[in-house]
Structure 1
Amino acid sequence: MLGRKERDQLELFISGSLRQLIPDEHVLVRVDGVLDLSWLRNELADLYCLDNGRPGIDPEVAVRLMLAGFLLGIVHDRRLMREAAVNIAIRWFVGYGLHEPLPDHSSLTRIRQRWGAERFRRIFERSVQACIAARIATGEVVHLDASLIRAHVSWDALAVRHVEAVAEANSDDDALRESRQSGKFKKVCVTDPDATMATNGRNRRLEPAYKQHTAVDDIAGVIVDVEVATGEENEGMAVAERLDAVATTAGRAMTIATMDAGYAYAKVFRALEDRQIEGIVPAKAEPPPGKVIPTRRFKFDALHNLARCPRGKILRPKGKLHRGAFQYFHASARDCGPCPLRARCVSPSRHARVVVFNVNHPSLLRARRKRLQWGKREKRLYQRHRWRVEGVHGEAKTWHGLARAVRRGLDNMRIQAFLTAAAINLKRLAAALLAAIAGFSPEPLAEIRAGAHARPYPA
């Protein structure tokens, strides 16, 4: 018999909690079992008046609303509140009944402005500490990588920075030349000055973007550190600070750090050596020989701060460090004049050879030698790096709205990154709780250090 259902519902009566209407496998139900925000009120007490003014939104409600949006991939406040009005799972997650009016979307904006980015970083750090307490992260074997995030601006908002250069050029041609070299002609974003032009490929055009530096633990893919900078910042500039941040958040020293070839700089290897961290980084190969004797044929003596040419003559440092890391070494004209290699070594316009060495050059040489000695263990660790940290970036951009900035400004971008990372960590923590009930346990850390392939962890 063909069934029939009357759609008219004049009255709606519910006996019990909204939780009874939400399936157990819903992501908000699973995250609610591991989310602890009882500490939040004391953390924010200094931002509110305790005995005067209109009662504000409960801080836990605000954070739960934002986390629900990132967990469900609804990152815009207006759309989130429209969805929360009809979504009983979101209402239950934030503690609102069907009859209660939800906060206005503008309240979330004011809350972000009042709290600041560092308060949201504390929420992220709490999620990391909860994962460490659950033993699904240790902070000892960590994969680091950076990813570009498209800024929330249009192409019409870009302008070429050249007005000051033209004004200077009217009086001095050297000023025009200097301005071209210093980058004053680069495109800038008028509506979001913090976003800078960057690209992740030689064949791709420059776009206004931010750069997110991410550190992912090896065991279960927990994000143990995240920070956002301008798009044009080089990856190597932030490594030392990020290594220290991971150690501070995890509460223990890092033992192994893996990075891709984009981090293969002398200062990165020096930062790893100073912290006694084993670096799994594919050092860039030396350039092929050309017509001119290359710098690599010159021996750098870091102990005495000298350099020696292929004929054994000494080159001495002159001037201050360039950009705090590069030192110029000059040979003597008396040594270069009668040298039989002068035609291949010294430019006709100069009297003697000048070479440039990074002060951390010995660390780079040791890293190159280590790269040639990589075994199965190092290769497997580097393979894990590629799918661990790059997989997290793909997950954040595909499922949690991190492919594009939601709001403008560096602080707003940092808040978005912190909440996205916290949402991913809470998913990992909820999966660990479910796995513990099912009798699953992640593989020991010793196997990871040995380079064994990890079993897939529940998503």
Structure 2
Amino acid sequence: MLGHKERGQLELFMTGSLRQLIPDDYILAKVDRVLDLTWLRAEVSDLYCEHNGRPGIDPEVAVRLMLAGFLLGIVHDRRLMREAQVNLGIRWFIGYGLHEALPDHSFLTRIRQRWGVERFRRIFERTVEACIAAKIAKGDVVHVDASLIRADVSWESLAMRHVEAVAEANEDASVAERDSRKTGKFKKVCVTDPDATMATSGRNRRLEPSFKQHAVVDDVCGVVLDVEVTTGEINEGQVIIERIDATIETTGVDVEIVTADAGYAYARVFGGFERRGISAVIPTKAEPIRSPVPMRRFRYDAKNDTLKCPRGKTLRPTRPVKHGRFFYSKAADCRGCDLARLCLSKGRANKAVVVGDDYPALLRARRRREKWTEEDRRLYQRHRWRSEGFHGEAKSWHGLARAVRRGLSNMKIQSYLTAAAINLKRLAVAFLRLFLLVTSPQATICELRNAFSRILLPQTFINARGAA
């Protein structure tokens, strides 16, 4: 017999909590078990008047609503509030009943503007501290990588940078254009979001207005220990040292091993890690051959701070340049050399070579790369799916493929909340595994003791074990 269901629902009667309607395996239900925002009110209390004005939205409601959006991949405020109107899970997660009217979406914008970037970074750092305390992150072995994030602008908003007022009223347009190409003034800029700069992730791909996210990911469970956003044109090698220092400050644990791809293989990076006692598992780049007599044929003597050419003549340091110094040979040594025709530039009587400040560290890294152990190769393989996996997860599932709002500060807030949501997912999975162990009748005393030694279980988990 064909069934029939009356679709009219004139009244809704309900007793109990909305939690009874939420499945236990729903992402917001799992994250709620590990989310602690009791500290937040004191953190932002200095931004609100204690006695005057209308009562504002509860800070915990605002953060829970933002985190719910990033956990569910709903990153736009208007769409998030429309979804919260009908989604029982979001209403329960933020503490609103079915009869309560939700605030307007604009309050989220005002919250971001009032709190500022640093308070959202503090929310992210709290998730890192929770993961460290739960021992699902150690902080001694980390993976570093960067990824471009497309800015929230259209191609029509790009404009060519004005070339010095058209070379001072067309004095010499051809010379001005040639100079502008060399100095970078010829590059396109974004009018609607000046913080976004033109960048690309490959030589065969076009430049796009972008930001760049730099992330430090723990080796154990993929917890994000540090994240920072810069403009797209910033080279990742410029910020890796300070990101590792920030990671150490956040976790309180000394980093022992750092893995990264060849985009970080600079002398100053290897030198910075050596001074900090950190082992760098980074494949060194092949030396670009711009001369018939390449740099690798010159031998640097770190003890005497001299450089020797392929024929054994000494080049000595002179004037400094950015990140290095010039080494010059004597004209008399080059005059009768059989390599002078290939080695010297046109019109020069002696050889000039720039050696980086941490060039010896780069040489040691090249020698180490040739002797990588199986453990080094294993760690580098883990880097590929730990660090790059985080960026892929953030872009595919949590809306980080494109900036939601304009400006570097808004992009940082989006990045911090995305990383916080992913860390809460990692923490929720760890608690769920231990919860299943604690509530299992087959769990032995030894297994329970090890579980309690690894992580501090909430009282609800302990009660559940007693009830079982």
TM bucket by the smaller chain? over 0.9
| Distance change >3 Å, CA 270–CA 407, structure 1 → 2 | same
Q: Which position in structure 1 is the counterpart of 2:391?
A: 393
Instruction: Tell me the distance in 1 between the aligned counterparts of 2:318 and 2:165.
Output: 32
Partner SS, residue 307 of structure 1: strand
Q: Which position in structure 1 is the counterpart of 2:179?
A: 178
| Distance change >3 Å, CA 267–CA 441, structure 1 → 2 | farther
Q: 2:373 aligns with which of 353, 375, 381?
A: 375
Q: How many Å apart are 1:274 and its aligned residue?
A: 1.2
Partner SS, residue 239 of structure 2: helix
Q: Which position in structure 1 is the counterpart of 2:213?
A: 212
Moved more, 170-179 or 223-232: 170-179
| Distance change >3 Å, CA 35–CA 180, structure 1 → 2 | same
Q: 1:243 is matched by which residue type in structure 2?
A: I
List per-residue Cα deviations over 1:341-366 (Å, max 9, x = no partner). Answer: 21222123111111111111111100
Q: Which position in structure 2 is the counterpart of 1:248?
A: 249
Moved more, 156-165 or 67-76: 156-165
Contact 1:435–1:441 (CA under 8 A) maintained in structure 2: no
Q: Which position in structure 2 is the counterpart of 1:7?
A: 7
Contact 2:163–2:180 (CA under 8 A) maintained in structure 1: no
Q: Which position in structure 2 is the counterpart of 1:51?
A: 51
Q: How many Å apart are 1:401 and its aligned residue?
A: 0.3
Contact 1:165–1:176 (CA under 8 A) maintained in structure 2: no
1:201 equivalent in alignment to 2:202: yes
Instruction: Tell me the distance in 1 between the aligned counterparts of 2:123 and 2:134.
Output: 17
Q: Which position in structure 2 is the counterpart of 1:283?
A: 284
Contact 1:64–1:94 (CA under 8 A) maintained in structure 2: yes
Q: How does 1:262-277 map to 2 (within 5 A)?
A: 262-277=263-278
Q: 2:244 is matched by which residue type in structure 1?
A: L
Contact 2:167–2:176 (CA under 8 A) maintained in structure 1: no
Q: Which position in structure 1 is the counterpart of 2:464?
A: none
Matched residues, number: 441
| Distance change >3 Å, CA 262–CA 124, structure 1 → 2 | same
Q: How many Å apart are 1:285 and its aligned residue?
A: 2.7
Contact 1:153–1:191 (CA under 8 A) maintained in structure 2: yes
Identity %: 66
Instruction: Tell me the distance in 2 between the aligned counterparts of 1:13 and 1:121.
Output: 42
Q: How many Å apart are 1:40 and its aligned residue?
A: 0.5
Q: 1:377 is matched by which residue type in structure 2?
A: E
Q: How does 1:148-187 map to 2 (within 5 A)?
A: 148-164=148-164, 166-168=166-168, 170-171=170-171, 176-187=177-188
> Structure 2 stretches of 5 or more lacking a match?
438-448, 455-468
Q: 2:422 aligns with which of 421, 424, 432?
A: 424
Q: Which position in structure 2 is the counterpart of 1:349?
A: 347
Instruction: Tell me the distance in 2 between the aligned counterparts of 1:137 and 1:348.
Output: 57
Contact 2:163–2:177 (CA under 8 A) maintained in structure 1: no
Q: Which position in structure 2 is the counterpart of 1:225?
A: 226
Q: How many Å apart are 1:6 and its aligned residue?
A: 1.7
Q: How does 1:332-347 map to 2 (within 5 A)?
A: 332-347=330-345
Q: 1:37 is matched by which residue type in structure 2?
A: L
Q: 2:74 is matched by which residue type in structure 1?
A: I
Q: Which position in structure 1 is the counterpart of 2:25?
A: 25
Partner SS, residue 318 of structure 1: strand
| Distance change >3 Å, CA 318–CA 170, structure 1 → 2 | farther
> Structure 1 stretches of 5 or more lacking a match?
446-459
Contact 1:169–1:176 (CA under 8 A) maintained in structure 2: no
Contact 1:168–1:176 (CA under 8 A) maintained in structure 2: no
| Distance change >3 Å, CA 315–CA 73, structure 1 → 2 | same
1:313 equivalent in alignment to 2:313: yes
Q: 2:190 is matched by which residue type in structure 1?
A: C
Q: How many Å apart are 1:441 and its aligned residue?
A: 8.5
Q: CA RMSD in A?
A: 2.0
Q: How does 1:22-171 map to 2 (within 5 A)?
A: 22-164=22-164, 166-168=166-168, 170-171=170-171
Instruction: Tell me the distance in 1 between the aligned counterparts of 2:429 and 2:325.
Output: 52
Q: How many Å apart are 1:2 and its aligned residue?
A: 3.2
List per-residue Cα deviations over 1:1-21 (Å, max 9, x = no partner). Answer: 433322211111111111111
Q: 2:77 is matched by which residue type in structure 1?
A: D
Q: Which position in structure 1 is the counterpart of 2:441?
A: none
Q: How many Å apart are 1:328 and its aligned residue?
A: 1.4
Moved more, 148-157 or 179-188: 179-188
Instruction: Tell me the distance in 1 between the aligned counterparts of 2:93 and 2:324.
Output: 55
Contact 1:165–1:184 (CA under 8 A) maintained in structure 2: no
> Scaled by the length of structure 2, what TM-score is found?
0.91
Contact 1:165–1:179 (CA under 8 A) maintained in structure 2: no
Q: How many Å apart are 1:181 and its aligned residue?
A: 1.2
Instruction: Tell me the distance in 1 between the aligned counterparts of 2:372 and 2:169.
Output: 54
Contact 1:302–1:359 (CA under 8 A) maintained in structure 2: no
